Amino acid sequence: MQTVQNPVLKGFNPDPSIVRVNQDYYIAVSTFEWFPGVHIYHSRDLVNWEFVTAPLSDETKVNLTGIDSACGIWAPNLTYCNGKFYLIYTIVYTNRSRYKDPHNFIITADNINGPWSMPVFLNCSGFDPALFHDENKKWLVNMALDYRIKNERFAGIDLQEYDEEKQELIGPVYRIFKGSEIGKTEGPNIIKHGEYYYLTVAEGGTGFDHCVTVARSKFITGPYEIDPENPVLTSRNSSCSLQRAGHGQVVDSTDGRWYMVHLCSRPISGYSILGRETAIQNVIWNKEGWPRLEKGGNKPFDSFEIPYVTKKEKLLLYRREDFDEENIPYDFMTLRNSPETCHITTKERKGWLRIYGGNSLSSKFKQGLLARRQQHFDYECITKMQFSPRSYRHLAGLVCYYNYDNYHYLKVSKDENFNICINITTADNGNIIDSDYIILEENVEIFYLKAVVHRESLIFYYSLDSIKYIQVGNTLDMTILSDEHVDGNGFTGAMIGVCCQDLMGDGIYADFDWFEYREL
């Protein structure tokens, strides 16, 4: 047996949905306001996972313009039946007050790499939809959202038949499950095992009380009985290294073993800077027919086992992008719109990334920002930038980003005396703090910008020659870039990226020669 360390998808990779197609496993994860939408990873051994596609990469199929942080694409569900992939997802248009306005869609493809069909609208009665392929019918399940203040907003799980030929839901809506006493019932998924339909749901909210609840019935429309030892997985009231465990889904392997994929986080001093990640647990079925963690109990383990040896050396992650190709690599994402719409391109200057200035980082519209996930507690990121600001309204640089209200931004600009200057702007739940400016004596245009992160701490540096680096400002607090810190809802994770702002509106841009991310 080989021991595999959790999580298998590090950094902001939440709400995993897993499907096995013969020898191939695929996991789809949520992307929220980030573009392209829904990242899908592939593995043949449950150990080595590689990105394969983002089905919502065409703005004719998805429009996230102006969507609030923590809205956008929630909890995708990936299934496979008779040679076809089915992807169901929610676009949440509101996440404030008591409303969410969740619209649920389905797209299909004969190949995981596409092309994917145009989205078909299903309903907007709740979020976290999933598709179950029964012998001769297809069924949609989703949590039911009750917006009325007097009621519990998480009203239960609804089931309705989906007619693939008509591409619409048909027949009655069945309220098949009202949830356990834990509450906040969401994330439903149905499988058939033996003579029972098993319904797995997420409960307790996606914070530190998160869990996986299982119920079963001999009839898909219910009634469903709750596992007598519920929940089957949770890290609440524990000191587990994997916290916030929940939103689980089980899958079998070709040799008859079972696994549960689930979200989790690895908080630092109570703050999930890396966001919600994806882990796997070994699962068995007990003699009463309920799924159980193979190692016992219901607390997540920081490793799982596979029954064969896959050669995998422990290597520090080093990722350098030179922007030599026309297509921007998958591990870089933009906010709400495509790079083209955000005026981010590698086509105008060979070997360089060009970002035309957008709105401020506090805007929900037209942000000139390209970023990747932070995937390690300790890392170093360096970029080479060419930038010639003409005004204090021209800004560009390197940013550690969570959302439009929470970021640390190392930026180059010009002051009122037309001196090139460097400083840090921090947004902490919307409160803006600026460090002192460093005024450069020479009119330079090439800058090397560096971020060094050690767990809760961040230090920015700059260099004019790539050899001598000078610290900018003081040590910064990375915990403000976490789900637990942000006002309202936080569901993503810390990102690191490059950006440019044109608050003058005269076409300023910044060029980036390369971008390096290295685990320390």
Q: Measured between alpha carbons, how far is 347 from 353 in angstroms, rounded to an integer?
A: 8
C-alpha neighbours within 13 Å on the C-beta side of residue 396? 30
| Catalytic (active site) residue 134 | no
**Max Cα separation, the chain?**
78
Per the CB < 8 A criterion, the answer to whether 169 and 139 are in contact is no
Torsion of CA 361, 363, 369, 375, to 10 degrees: 70
Q: How many CA atoms lie within 13 A of 73 on its CB side?
A: 33
CB of 19 within 8 A of CB of 88? no
Q: How far lies 76's CA from each of 93, 130, 159, 172, 233, in Å?
A: 16, 8, 17, 24, 21
Rounded to whole angstroms, the Cα distance separating 15 from 369 reads 24
To the query of whether residue 186 is one of the catalytic residues in this protein, the response is yes
Residue at 228: amino acid letter: P
Annotated active-site residue in 128, 158, 186, 502: 186
Whole-number Å distance between alpha carbons of 260 and 283: 6
Half-sphere exposure of 445 (CA within 13 A, CB side): 8
Q: Which amino acid would we find at residue 212? A: V
The residue among 49, 39, 43, 37 whose CA lies nearest residue 9 is 49
Phi first, then psi: give them for residue 153, nearest 5 degrees.
-65, -30
Q: Is 202 left (phi over 0), alpha (psi -120 to 50) or beta?
A: beta
Burial 202-229 (b: 16+ CB within 10 A, else e): bbbbbbbbbbbbbbbbeebebebebbee
Phi and psi based region of residue 297 (left: phi greater than 0; alpha: psi -120 to 50; beta: remaining)? left
* Integer CA distances (angstroms), 254 to 132, 171, 285, 287, in order: 20, 36, 16, 21
DSSP state of 442: S
User: Is residue 55 reached through a cis peptide bond, with omega within 30 degrees of 0 on the bond before it?
Assistant: no
Q: Which helix (H) or strand (E) holds 25?
A: strand 24-29
Q: Are 285 and 257 within 8 A, CB to CB?
A: no
Q: What are phi and psi of 354, to 5 degrees?
A: -110, 130
Which residues are part of the catalytic machinery? 15, 186
